[in-house]
Structure 1
Amino acid sequence: MAELKSVGIYRTARQPAPLSVLGYGTHTITTWLADRRLDSHAAVLVQEGAGMLLSARAGRLELTAPALFWLFPGEQHAYGPAPGTAWQERWVLFGGSLCSYFVDGGLIDPARPLVALSELTPVASLFGAIHSAIVDETPLGPAAGGVALHRLAVEVARQQRPAAVPADGPDADVLAATLRARAFEPIDFAAFADEFGMSPATLRRRFVSRFGVAPKAMQLDIRLDRAKALLAASDDSIEQIAERVGFTDSYYFSRVFRLREGRSPSEFRLRNRRR
């Protein structure tokens, strides 16, 4: 992703996976990298230095290490250190069906691609885990890379604090407990937020800040976790299980399940059935 003092490793996914590491590298950047587009998602960790990111949707953003920014497929961008300086970065390219879940669930936001990190160590450690995974030629390598990428997205989301969060109103744990109690029912999240005296945007920020996911994504996690338990332990049909966990359309349930788990509900049941 840059020209100077760079080391990069690239991989082609051996088979379709929900989340795949496609490349990893470390660079010393000394110049402005302009008019760039990627075919995949990317995370860039700036460990030392300062400069600027120019994003099509977020505009011009000044950054100071430690910081991380996300790049999105096909989106024009530019970045680099302040004139006459350099920055140290590590980057990872990734792809897969879970990328859309990251965006839809609020883990990464194209409108807020830059995250000022309050703690560098856990993020740097996850980049190290990704590097170890991409050089692992065994079948465990791709799986370990996907796990580390997911943990990276969650950790960065936890550190992405909003500029201001109202001190009044219930804390996130109370909101989450209420959501869990209603997870299998239809939820109008605008009405849910109003019930607690806040805007939908504030509700979303509190969930992302505390749990690393938006409320809608948490509801989906709860539903699919319950569906997996039922698939493994019951004789209910796919249609019955879909309805029990809150899906009115079993076809849509199966599509979402495959997107998240990498296999259909029927395939999951065959592999995980409790005898």
Structure 2
Amino acid sequence: MYHTWMRYFTPGPVHHRLGLVCLGVGLQHGALPTVGPRTLDHHVAVVVSAGSGWYRTPDGRRTTVTAPALLWLTPGVPHHYSADPGTGWDEAFVDFTGPATATYTELGCIEPERPVVPLSDAGGPRAVVGRIARAARRGNPLLEVETAAAVHELLVALRRARADTNAEGDPVLTVLARDAFQPLSVAEHAARQGMTPAELRTAVRRAAGCSPKDYLLTIRLGRAKELLAATELPVAAVARRVGYDDPAYFSRLFTRRVGIAPVRFREQQGRAVPGGWSDRIPDPEHPPTIAG
């Protein structure tokens, strides 16, 4: 015995320009029928939040699926899976496609090489699927836009829910972010984590989809923008604060990556901050407001 609810959509060409579009959503539970063998022309994320079953790869290897888990169904790759007929499972699925799937794959948010991914908790992804399901109500004029935006959110939620990522994020990235403003080479960063440079590059590539150098640069330039916008520190001082002893090199780097020079960025974004600037993230439940 099983129960199924599903909806399918046909977004137009203009919606495909959003980068990702949702093609369908479903919520199912029980001893569901076996799926496949079959091959699709789009991606599907299948979130198993309770129960167990199996997944068979194209070469015939069978993998046990134990909730919470994610099944990645990727275009052109045959798949074959089933819930355990005795216990069944609880499943939510989202079909999606779009040119941004290539970028999300490069960033490690979609993992074609890992069709079965253990999750630490399915709650976050299931909540996003729930929002897609609510957006699927008949007559919703923003259906395609809402569901497309939610697919972006779902990929982030799935990446965050992976069992090899703790609540604070990937530990390698956490240490890199902590030490980002120190004038250290990639080799020195690797040594601090007890890794070789090659191991650090592999770990960062898998966790963030980029090289350690690029990851550090993103953090440094983000902080530099904050200092340029919210303080009157000279550009040379800003450069030193974010780890560059040579202000001319910092200015060239900033200009190449941001598109405008640091002084020009300050002219556009600078503003006085009476009482000082804070790096504390506001509480979303109690954001800064006008006292009244």
The alignment's TM-score, normalised by the length of structure 2, stands at: 0.60
How many residues align? The count is: 222
1:77 deviates by 0.6
Q: Conserved in 1, the CA contact under 8 Å of 2:19 and 2:100?
A: yes
Give the aligned CA root-mean-square deviation in angstroms.
4.2
Q: Conserved in 2, the CA contact under 8 Å of 1:22 and 1:94?
A: yes
Deviation per CA, 1:141-193, whole angstroms, max 9, x where unpaired? 33322332222222222232449xxxxxx8523424666899xxxxx989985
Residues 1:87 and 2:84 aligned together: no
Q: Pick the structure with greater CA Rg.
A: 2
Instruction: Give the counterpart letter for 2:20 in structure 1.
Output: L
Q: Which range moved further: 130-139 or 100-109?
A: 130-139
Partner of 2:107: 105
Query: What is the distance in 1 between the residues matched to 2:199 and 2:122?
Result: 27
Q: Percentage identity across aligned positions?
A: 29
Partner of 1:269: none
Partner of 2:256: 244
**Match of 1:31, SS?**
coil
Query: What is the distance in 2 between the residues matched to 1:180 and 1:215?
Result: 18
Q: Conserved in 1, the CA contact under 8 Å of 2:122 and 2:161?
A: no
Q: Conserved in 1, the CA contact under 8 Å of 2:120 and 2:163?
A: no
Q: Conserved in 1, the CA contact under 8 Å of 2:124 and 2:161?
A: no
**Counterpart mapping for 1:26-37 below 5 A:** 26-28=27-29, 29-37=31-39
1:132 deviates by 2.1
Q: Which runs of 5+ in 2 are unaligned?
A: 166-170, 226-251, 260-267, 270-292
1:106 deviates by 0.8
Q: Conserved in 2, the CA contact under 8 Å of 1:11 and 1:21?
A: yes
Partner of 1:9: 7
Q: Conserved in 2, the CA contact under 8 Å of 1:31 and 1:86?
A: no
Give the direction of change, closer, same or farther, for the CA distance of 1:143–1:198 in structure 2 (3 Å limit). Answer: farther
Of 66, 88, 97, 2:68 maps to: 66
**Match of 2:120, SS?**
coil
**Match of 2:158, SS?**
helix
Instruction: Give the counterpart letter for 2:209 in structure 1.
Output: A
Q: Which runs of 5+ in 1 are unaligned?
A: 164-169, 183-187, 230-239, 248-272
1:96 deviates by 0.8
Partner of 1:175: 176
Of 155, 160, 163, 2:162 maps to: 160
1:122 deviates by 1.5
Greater RCO, CA 8 A, separation 6+: 1
Residues 1:214 and 2:212 aligned together: no
